[in-house]
Structure 1
Amino acid sequence: MKNIKLLILLLFFGWSAAFAQDKRFITYKVKEGETIQSISKALSVTPYDLLKLNPDVKDNVSVNDIIIIPNKQYDPLADITNADLRGVGDKDIIVDKFIYHEVLPKETMYSITNSFDVTAEELKRNNRFLSEKGLKIGQVIKIPLKIDDSELKAKEANTQPYLVKPKETKYSISKNFGITIEYLEELNPKIAQNGLQIDDVILVPIESTTMVDDEFLIYEVQKLETMYSITRKFGITEDEMLALNPEVSGGIKEGMLIKVPNNLSLEKPLFVDYIPADTELKIAMMLPFKSKRDSLNFEGDRLLNISTDFYFGALIAIDSLKKQGLSVKMKVFDTENNKQISKKISEEPGLQEFDAIVGPLFLSNVKAVSNNLKYGKPLIISPISTKDHSDIDNNKLVQERASLENHTEEMMDYIKANYENQDLIVIKNTSQRSQEHYDRIIADLQALNPEKEVKVLEPKDGYIKPDEFKVFRDTLERNIVNWFFITDNDPAYLGDVFNNLGVFPEADSLLVFGFEKDRNFNKIDNNFLARVNFHYPSNTFIDYNSAAYKHFETIYRKKYFGRPSSFSVEGFDLTYDLLQRLANDPDLINQGVSERIGTKYDFIENTSGGIINKGVYIIKYDGLSEKVVN
C-alpha cells in the first residue's frame, strides 16, 4: 500500500509538468495594441514564420484574434503516444518520461533489463540505491521510457498546425486534406477520445502535389514518409499500394509520384461526431456484477472481470464526452446475471424516460427486459452477444455485435470482390452446423464461375485422415492458388484441417477462409494458420500500436492502474459511439459508418424490425501477425 501511494503521488506531481510539454503549438489571444511584429519579437520568431503558421492572417492582427504560436515549453519526448510500452505491466505507472515499476518476486536485473529494453547501467544511473543495496522485492525503480525519435521527426517534417474553426468536424477536415479520419486521429490522438473543440490546434499533413480523377490520386511522397505512413494516410493496405505502384517494392523515396485510390467518396457516408449545445442524455447500464455476494473473486470469476472491464471503459467514454460539452446522467443496475432480477429492474417506471439502456449481457436476460420496454422511449443495447436476436419483436432493440450470419455475408462479399479464378474447395464435417454452412455458401461459390467445379472434401468414419488429404492434394492444380473453406468450429475438425493443410509443401499456394474464429482455435498452431494465410471475420480488431489505443491505454492505466482488456475497449467504443449518435438523432441506422478504437459501427434493420450492427472486419494472418484487409 505504501508503494502504491508513492506512485499515485508521483503521478499527481508529474501531471501538470507533462501536460504543458506535449503540444508543439498553442493558441494565443491578441491583446490591444499588439501586431504581428511585436508578437513575433516577444516569441523570438520571425514575422514570416508567424504568418506561415497563420495563413488566414493577411497583413496584421486585431484585438481578440486567436492565432497559432510555437509552444516554448514543448518537449517532443514527453509524448507518450510515441513510447515503447511493451514491457509495461498492469501495476506500472508512467510519469514524466519514466516508468515506475515495483520489483516483483523472482525478478532480477537481467529479467528487468530484458523486459524493458534498458541496460543495467541505465537502471543504476536512475536508481542509485541499486549500486549500494542491490535489487530487492518491493522496491520502486525508475525505468527510462523509450521514445521513437524517427517517428517524431517524420511527424514534424510532414505536418503543420491547423486551427479548428466553428462547425468543423473530423470528417470535413480529413476530406479537405485528403486523408482518412483514422489518420487524422493518429496524428492527433487526443481528438480520438475528446473530439474536436473550436480553436483547438491540431496537426494536419503539409499540402502536397496531388492530381485528382474519378478513381485515383497522384501523390508526391514527402520527406521522411514511409510505406506504413502513406498506407495509413490513405486507408489502404500495403498489398494494394504495391499492386498500384510496383516500382515502390524497392522502397519509398522522397519526391516519388505514386498512385493511390481516391477513397474519399464512400457509398455510405461516414458518421460525423458532433454534439449540439446543451444536449442532455440519460442512460442506464444493466450488468452482472453480483455485488450481493459475500466476496468478489476477480481472479476466478471471468464474468465479473468482463462486466467490470466493460464498465470502466464506458466511464472513460462518458468522461471524454462530458469534456466536449455533453451532459450525461447514468444509472447502473446489478442484474446478478438473473432473468427475474433483470425483468424486475426493467419494470421501474423511471426507465421509460431514459434514452438508452446498455445491457443485460446475455440474450435470455435481454429478452426479459425487451418485453417490458417494448413501447418505451429507450433503445435497448445488447452488447457482446452474437446470437441471433431476430426472433425478438422489438424495434428498439439494438444488437451491438454482428451475428454469425452477418459474418458469413461480409466474408462472402469479400470473396466475391477478390475472386480471380482460384480453385475452390469446401471442407465439410458431419455436424448439422457444418451442413448449414455448406448449404449457405456452396451456391454462392459455384456462382463465381459456373463453368468450374467447386470441389468438396468430406470426412469418412467421422474424421478426415491424413492420407485423404494427401490423395486430395494430388488432384489439385499446381501454379494456382487453391482456396479452402471451413464449415465448422468443432475442435477435432479444426485439428484435422489445419494440422494437415498447415504442412502442405511450400510449392502449394493455398488460402483458407473461415466464417468465425472462437476459442476452439486456441489449440491450433499459429504457424499453421500463417502457412495457410487464414482469413476470418471479426466484430473487433484492436491495433495495439495505434495512437488511439495507446491514448486510451494511458488514460485507463492512470485511472485504474492496470492494462485495459478487449472488453474495456468495447465498453468505451460502444458507449462513446452510442452517445455521439444519440446526441444527434435516436435513429442509428441513417447516420453513417463510424470506427472507434477496435469496433466498426454500421447499423441496419434486422429481419424483425430491430437494429443490428453489421460492422465486420475481415482479418488475415500476415506471417504470425494479423491485419485488416477490408
Structure 2
Amino acid sequence: MKLMKQGGQAPLLLLFFLLVSCFSGLDVFAQRESATSSRASRTIQPSNNDIPPAVVSRCKQMHRVKRNETLNSISKDYNVSIEDLIVANPELESDELKKGNYICIPAIVEATDKKEKEVILPSIPNQTIKTTATGNKERGTTLPIHRNQGKGPTVKAAIILPFSEVESRTRMVEYYEGFLMAVDSLKRKGVSVDLYVYDSGGQNASISSILQHKEMVDMDVIFGPLYSKHIKPLANFAKANKIRLIIPFTSKDNEVFSNPYIYQINTPQSYLYAEVYTHFAREFKSANVVIWNTGEQQSDYEFTKGIRRLPNRPFTVRILEEGDIAAGMIRDAFSSTQTNIVIPTSNSNATLAKLISQLLATFGKMREDDIRLFGYPDWQAYAKDHIDEYFEWDTYFYSSFYTDNLMPEVMNFTKNYRKWYSKDTANTYPKYGMLGYDTGFYFLKGLFTYGSELENNLSNVEFTPIQIGFKFSRANNEGGFINKQLFFVHFTKEHEIIKMNFD
C-alpha cells in the first residue's frame, strides 16, 4: 500500500480498494484524496497503477552487524545512504552499532517522478490481489463486503493518521503494522472487519475532505488522530454521527470531558496522579520518602508536590534541595530505621544517572540503610542504560505501559512482527507496533462481541494485552472514557522484574 505526497502540494490520501482473498470476512481499504480539497469525494476505480504489490516489505534484507563495522561501511556494502539506513532503523540515531545486532537494509523505491515522495504502508501478508491486463481485479475467493456467512456482524473501522508526514511516519506506520497483526489474529477467531485507512497529512493539514467520504458516517469506530489540531473536528464528527473515537496517543485536549464517544488511551500522567498516590501510600506505608530536587528541568515537579501535600500520609517526607546536595548533606535526609524511597523531581535520563552516581558516592555498594528508587514511566525507556542499577537500588516506577518480554504473547508478537515486516519494532516508549496491536484487538473484538452494549461490558472483553491494559472510567457524566490502567514495575535485588497490578 503506497501513500504519495506530491512536491509542493497538499498531502494526498490514497484510495486502494484492497480485498483480501485469504482473509474471510476481512476487507481493507485505503483512501486517496487531497486532505485540503473541497471537491466532492469519489471512489477511484482500481487500475494497474492503483494496486500495489501483494506484499510490500520496507527491508530488502536484515544485516547482522560484525565486529568493527560502521554505518559508513555497511552503507557502502549495500549501496544505500547512511540517511536511508537511519530512517529504516530509527534507533541508530541514539544507539551505537553492536556486534550481533540486526539492522534493516531498506529496499529503496525509485519514484518515477522526482517530485514524488513515497511512503510504503504494509498490506496483510500473504494476501492475493491480482491485476488483469485491463486493470480489473481478480478477487479469487474473497467475500463481498459485509457478507458474513452467518458468522456475526462486521465491524467497520477507520484509521486516520499522518502516514506521509516525515517527522511521525515511522511511528505511525509501525502502529498500523501492529494493528494489521491484531486484525489477522481476530480473523482467525472469526471476527469480521472492514478496515479503511486514511492519511491525515501534517499537523497543519485539514481533514475535512476525509470526513466528507460517504462511508465515514457508517463507521463503528475511528482510530486517531495524532495531532491536537485534528482532534476537535474529528471529535465533533464522531459525536454528530455517534461513532466511537479511539485516541491512542497522549493528548491534553479536553474533548474527552465533553464528548461521550471518545476513548483516551494513553492518558496524560497528571490524570493518573491520584491513583498513583493511593497505591504509593499503601505500598510504602511507614517509609521515609526523600524528594531529591536536582535543580534540573523539573517536568514532574507537580508529581512530587502532590506527594508532599498528600493528606494523612502514612509516611514521612524529607526534601533534599540542590544546595543540600552540593554541600554534602545527603545523609541527613535518610533514615537508618525506615525504608527510604527516593524520588527525583525530574524524569530525565540525565537526572537519573546523576542521582544514582551521587547515591553510590554517598552510601557505597555495601550499605546498611534500606534505600530504594521510585520514578516515572519514562524510566522504562532508560532500562538499557541502567538495568544493573535498577536491580541494585530496588527500583520502582509507575506506568500504564509495560512489556514483559518473556511473556508468551509478547514473544509470539515479536516473532511474527519480524516475520511479517523483516525488522524489529523501534526502540521507543511506548512501542507503537504493540500499541496498535493492543488497541486494535481490544476494540474490534469488543465491538464484534458486544456491539452497542460495549460500554456495559468494557471489563468483559477477552483480551491479553502485550503492552497496555485497559481500565476505563467515565471522565464525567457528559464525557467519554479515560484509561486509568496503572501498575508499578519493581526491579528487585534478586534480579526479578515484577509487574504489580492493582485491579
Shared fold (TM-score, shorter chain, > 0.5): yes
Match of 2:236 in 1: 371
Is the aligned partner of 1:454 residue 2:317? Answer: yes
Distance in 2, Cα, partners of 1:420 & 1:519: 25
Cα distance, 1:539–1:429 mapped onto 2, change above 3 Å = same
Cα distance, 1:515–1:407 mapped onto 2, change above 3 Å = farther
Which residues of structure 2 form unaligned runs of 5+? 1-57, 69-149
Residue 575 of structure 1 and its aligned partner are, at CA, apart by 0.3
Is the aligned partner of 1:408 residue 2:279? Answer: no
Distance in 1, Cα, partners of 2:304 & 2:282: 20
Match of 2:86 in 1: none
Distance in 2, Cα, partners of 1:453 & 1:316: 48
Is the aligned partner of 1:514 residue 2:375? Answer: yes
Match of 1:467 in 2: 327
Residue 578 of structure 1 and its aligned partner are, at CA, apart by 0.6
Equivalent residue for 1:591, pick from 437, 458, 465: 458
Residue 573 of structure 1 and its aligned partner are, at CA, apart by 1.0
Equivalent residue for 1:289, pick from 153, 163, 188: 163
Residues 411 and 515 in structure 1, CA contact (< 8 A), matched pair in contact too = no
Is the aligned partner of 1:438 residue 2:304? Answer: yes
Superposition TM-score, scaled by structure 1 size? 0.50
1:219-271 deviation digits (Å, cap 9, x = unpaired): xxxxxxxxxxxxxxxxxxxxxxxxxxxxxxxxxxxxxxxxxxxxxxxxxxxxx
Superposition map of 1:88-487 within 5 A: 106=66, 277-290=151-164, 303-385=168-250, 387=252, 389=254, 393-428=258-293, 433-444=299-310, 447-449=312-314, 453-460=316-323, 465-468=325-328, 471-487=329-345
Distance in 2, Cα, partners of 1:348 & 1:487: 48
AA aligned to 1:485 is I
1:389-424 deviation digits (Å, cap 9, x = unpaired): 456632111111132024423322321222341212
Q: Secondary structure at the match of 1:278?
A: coil
Match of 1:563 in 2: 424
Residue 290 of structure 1 and its aligned partner are, at CA, apart by 0.7
Q: Secondary structure at the match of 1:341?
A: coil
Q: Secondary structure at the match of 2:180?
A: helix
Cα distance, 1:590–1:413 mapped onto 2, change above 3 Å = farther
Residue 510 of structure 1 and its aligned partner are, at CA, apart by 1.0
Equivalent residue for 2:474, pick from 605, 608, 615: 605
1:552-599 deviation digits (Å, cap 9, x = unpaired): 233323322223452111111110001111121343464216541222
Q: Secondary structure at the match of 1:548?
A: helix
Cα distance, 1:383–1:474 mapped onto 2, change above 3 Å = same
Cα distance, 1:555–1:434 mapped onto 2, change above 3 Å = closer
Distance in 2, Cα, partners of 1:546 & 1:437: 31
AA aligned to 1:606 is A
AA aligned to 2:489 is I
AA aligned to 2:483 is N
Residues 438 and 465 in structure 2, CA contact (< 8 A), matched pair in contact too = yes
The structure with more radius of gyration: 1
Identity %: 21
Larger RCO (CA under 8 A, 6+ residues apart): 2
Residues 380 and 397 in structure 1, CA contact (< 8 A), matched pair in contact too = yes
Distance in 2, Cα, partners of 1:315 & 1:372: 25
Superposition TM-score, scaled by structure 2 size? 0.61
Distance in 2, Cα, partners of 1:476 & 1:316: 50
Residues 344 and 351 in structure 2, CA contact (< 8 A), matched pair in contact too = no
Cα distance, 1:554–1:369 mapped onto 2, change above 3 Å = same
Residue 600 of structure 1 and its aligned partner are, at CA, apart by 0.7
AA aligned to 1:489 is N
Residue 331 of structure 1 and its aligned partner are, at CA, apart by 0.6
Superposition map of 1:77-88 within 5 A: none
Distance in 2, Cα, partners of 1:289 & 1:107: 36
Distance in 2, Cα, partners of 1:500 & 1:457: 12
1:404-457 deviation digits (Å, cap 9, x = unpaired): 02442332232122234121222346667554223322232x5233xx642122
Q: Secondary structure at the match of 2:181?
A: helix
Cα RMSD between the aligned structures? Answer: 3.3
Which residues of structure 1 form unaligned runs of 5+? 1-89, 93-100, 109-275, 292-300
Q: Which range moves more in the overlay, 532-541 or 575-584?
A: 532-541
Residues 256 and 481 in structure 2, CA contact (< 8 A), matched pair in contact too = no
AA aligned to 1:438 is T
Residues 59 and 421 in structure 2, CA contact (< 8 A), matched pair in contact too = no
Cα distance, 1:386–1:622 mapped onto 2, change above 3 Å = farther
Is the aligned partner of 1:627 residue 2:466? Answer: no
AA aligned to 1:602 is K
Q: Secondary structure at the match of 1:618?
A: strand
